[in-house]
Amino acid sequence: MNRRGGFRLLPIVLFGLYLGYYFIANREEVPLTGRKQLVDISREQEASLGLSSYRQILRQSAVVRSGPEAALVKSIGQRIAKVSEDPGFEWQYELIDDNQANAFCLPGGKVAVYTGILPITQNENGLAVVMGHEIAHAIARHGAERMAHQKLVQIGAMATSVAVGDMEPRQRQLVLGALGVGAQFGILLPFSREHESEADYMGLIYVARACFDPQEAPKLWVRMGEASKGAPSEFMSTHPSHETRIRQFQEWMPEAMKVRAESCGGR
């Protein structure tokens, strides 16, 4: 029962049972979208990891402590956090003097914007779209969910390695290689792209609730596309293509404009 052609069935059966238990025991619901997700660490553990990483990044960076751009980052962040499903984060917003076009929000509400992205955002609404997206990642616990996915892939790889332990070395190498490629392109990358799209949607709604103009979102991603020529194809990327993101923003725009009208009246 356990072996057939050098293949051991028991490790795969045990992994399947563990997988079923894991799915049942570690399910949460993403705020706003209602998607079911897998997370196996507490919010406190996640926030502690985020704070540690944030402090290290700030120690190694040129933080802009004052000025209109730093004030704008804080103002936008506070407005978006106020209308989000804030799980009790201790919010912090910093501007970092660095040419990279990037921003992030670590677990616990630790936000950083790099000055290199400001020429692309161009205005308050564009920066709000970027920050709304990053804040949404933290609220949706995407980092913890990625850790859970990676843990499952690693355990699955270990179970498969034991299951094919009696195969010829070349055959075993081919099986494990195929598993690695399948996990990367069939599980990890698609989930990462799903996280990005989910953060795009949640961030757009936050932008609308906070009375910024959500119509800036597709314009921003046109500029992002112009600034990042030569990006890999969507299938090989952790992010949706710029074209996909623009199309999705256009699909979500009627809802976002309705939310803005309800939240902000004539403002």
d(CA 136, CA 117): 18
Q: Of residues 46, 94, 134, 196, which has the active-site annotation?
A: 134
Query: Among all chains, which residue has been given the structure tokens 């009246």?
Result: 265
- Decide: helix, strand or coil at residue 76: helix
- Position 8 scores a pLDDT of 58
Extract the residue ranges of the chain whose pLDDT is less than 70. 1-23, 25, 152-192, 229-239, 266-267
Note whether 7 and 164 are within 8 A (CB): yes
What's the whole-number average pLDDT of the chain? 81
Q: Is 134 a catalytic residue?
A: yes
Residue 105 — φ and ψ, nearest 5°?
A: -135, 115
- Position 237 scores a pLDDT of 42
Radius of gyration of the chain (CA): 21
- Position 15 scores a pLDDT of 61
Q: Torsion-angle region of residue 256: left (phi > 0), alpha (psi -120 to 50) or beta? A: alpha
Q: What is the pLDDT of residues 40-90, one digit of tens each?
A: 889 999 999 999 999 999 999 999 999 999 999 999 999 999 999 988 899
Domain boundaries, the chain: 3-264
- Position 1 scores a pLDDT of 44
Note whether 156 and 183 are within 8 A (CB): yes
- Decide: helix, strand or coil at residue 21: helix
- Position 162 scores a pLDDT of 53
Q: Using a CB cutoff of 8 Å and minimum separation of 24, what contacts does 48-52 make? A: 48/108, 49/106, 49/107, 50/106, 50/107, 50/108, 50/110, 50/138, 50/143, 51/106, 51/108, 51/110
- Position 235 scores a pLDDT of 33
User: What's the whole-model pTM score?
Assistant: 0.79
H/E stretch holding 27 reads: strand 27-29
